[in-house]
Amino acid sequence: MNGDIGRAFLILGLILVAAGLIISFAPRIPWLGKMPGDIYIRRENFTFYFPLATSIIISLLISFLSRFFR
Q: In Å, how far are 17, 26, 30, 58 from 20, measured between CA atoms?
A: 5, 10, 18, 15
Q: How far is CA 48 from CA 9, 22, 56, 61, 64, in A?
A: 38, 23, 18, 25, 30
Band the pLDDT of 47: cuts 50, 70, 90: very high
- At residue 43, the 3 state secondary structure works out as coil
* pLDDT score at 43: 93
Write out pLDDT tens, residues 21-33.
887 887 777 767 7
Global pTM reads: 0.57
Average pLDDT of every residue of the chain: 84
pLDDT tens digits, 50-66? 888 888 988 998 899 88
Q: Which of 15, 32, 4 is nearest to 66 (CA)?
A: 15
List CB contacts of 52: < 8 A, sequence separation 6 or more.
Answer: 37, 38, 39
Q: What is the pLDDT at residue 1?
A: 61
